Amino acid sequence: MRAFEKENINPYPLETKRNFSIKKALENFKDFSKNSKTLFLVGRIRSIRAHGGSTFINFEDGTSKIQAYFRKNEVGEKRYKFFLNNFDIGDFIEIKGTLFKTKKGEKTIQVKKFKVLTKTLLPLPEKWHGLQDTEERYRKRYLDLIFNPEVKEKFKIRSGIIKRIREFLDEESFLEVETPFLQPIYGGAKAKPFKTHLNALDIDLYLRIATELYLKRLLVGGFDKVYEIGKCFRNEGMDKHHNPEYTHFEFYWAYADYKKLMKFTEKMFKYVLKNVLGKYKIRYGDQDIDFKTPWKRIEFSDLLKKYAKVDLENVNQKDLFKKAKELGVEVEKERPKAEIADEIYKKFCRVKIKNPSFVIHHPIGFQPLAKSLESNPEKLANFQLVAGGIELANAFSELNDPLEQKKRFQEQEKLHEEGLEETQRMDKDFLEALEYGMPPAAGFGMGIDRLTLLLTNSQSLREIILFPTMRLK
């Protein structure tokens, strides 16, 4: 740093001159080199190879990388020596020059002038690539991205997934909206919330665990198709498929039902996979997964009977709890029958599903916001989308009967009083909205993180969340 000060050079200048990205320079290499076009390229130095009066460096700008050639006779002896003595791997540099090919055929920029853009104070670690301490990689994601291009590619795919979902829904006339992160009543899912306090109004608020109840208020207000992609928060355990802060995607479609929604989901996934990956078959772990439609529709009760030997329709809550204990499934004794069945399903059934499938018709009591089947009120008009053994999405025909919804909330409140924290709470404002009339509708919720996990062949959400929640050191 003292050398820069001595030469009156600002190592963190205000302005940068750049007329092309490295990617554009390489794409137009033939024309630019033929016409000796002057380029201003910028980027981070990744390697330096000095050979007497000439030096080669590799540098990259986020779009691509290129080689630069410094000649003492071209840039001047003083500047050449200054570069060798004061520039390091990791520094950011601006280079003015023209393109040419070396004798070995490598595309290169001949340096006419150069300028420091950022002088690094810490050297890039030499052994970061392939680092086995994954926690260190996640804590210092900036270094992980520098050294592991495959990591950066996963986040490009993640961005593409969100972009294509938006594109698809926009083309289908859905309106993107925003609903509150801070809510006086948490709802729309079974989860423990994060609690905070708003000093200005002296009230307790909760970080949202879902967007559902606010999006459905918009259906009451007259919107037919709405969606939201944003953060939700659940104060619960962490594992390879759960992170306290995650990206949630929900949409609601008036005058549709869960059957229409299954076909719509297939259409949406085909669009996303085609435009993000360019294919419908993926590799996940040791499995080949085919997203070719139509997907299977599988009865929830049939799965339990097949893989857990549970006859759901002929067992009561008490006996099902005993069966769960025998199977090694840990659940609270107070859990409703439907939730005990779901825990058994998660352990013994879901993991068996490889190709995308709709698991349909959970038992009543599993989802207090879903309609029941008219043909069998003991089953819900719902589905879960499962692929690679992972639950990707939950969806159902929305309950719009305010009296039935109030009854369901009351049942949930009773369970909460018995000590089950992850229950839906009584939301009187939402009930009042339903009393004004909500059209029949279908709703869909999916974690963007889990979908990205699957499509990038990752084994933990930490791999595809840029800055996952970590234990403090």
The answer to whether the beta carbons of residues 396 and 363 sit under 8 Å apart is no
pLDDT of residue 335: 85
In a domain, 321, yes or no: yes
In this structure, what CATH number is given to the domain that contains residue 336? 3.30.930.10
Q: What is the CATH number of the domain that holds 77?
A: 2.40.50.140
394 and 429 in a single domain? The answer is yes
176, 40: one domain: no
Average pLDDT over residues 275-287: 96
Over residues 360-370, the mean pLDDT reads 95
**470, part of any domain:** no
Band of residue 464 on the pLDDT scale cut at 50, 70, 90: very high
Are the beta carbons of 341 and 324 closer than 8 angstroms?
no
Assigned domain for 126 exists: no
Q: Which domain holds residue 420?
A: 145-463
Domains held by the chain: number: 2
Q: Are residues 106 and 160 in the same domain?
A: no
In a domain, 124, yes or no: no
pLDDT at residue 125 in the model: 85
Residue with tokens 């997203």: 291
Answer whether residue 392 is part of any domain.
yes
Q: Within a domain: residue 309?
A: yes
Same domain, 353 and 297: yes
Instruction: Determine, yes or no, domain membership for 471.
Output: no
Per the domain annotation, does 354 fall within a domain?
yes
Q: Are residues 347 and 216 in the same domain?
A: yes
Same domain, 163 and 107: no
Q: What is the mean pLDDT of residues 398-426?
A: 91
Band of residue 128 on the pLDDT scale cut at 50, 70, 90: low
Do 287 and 235 belong to one domain?
Answer: yes
Residues near 272 by beta carbon (within 8 Å), at least 6 away in sequence: 161, 164, 165, 168
pLDDT tens digits along 51-104: 989 999 999 999 999 999 999 999 999 999 999 999 999 999 999 999 999 999
Q: 169 and 280 share a domain?
A: yes
For the stretch 142-199, pLDDT in tens is 999 999 899 999 999 999 999 999 999 999 999 999 999 999 999 999 899 999 999 9
> What's the whole-number average pLDDT of the chain?
95
Same domain, 180 and 230: yes
pLDDT digits (tens, 9 = 90+) for 24-54: 999 999 999 999 999 999 999 999 999 989 9
- The fraction of the chain above a pLDDT of 70, given in percent, is 99
Are 458 and 464 spatial neighbours (Cβ–Cβ below 8 Å)?
Answer: yes
Same domain, 181 and 265: yes
Q: Which residues contact 333 (CB under 8 A, 6 or more apart)?
A: 321
pLDDT band at 415 (very low <50, low <70, confident <90, very high): confident
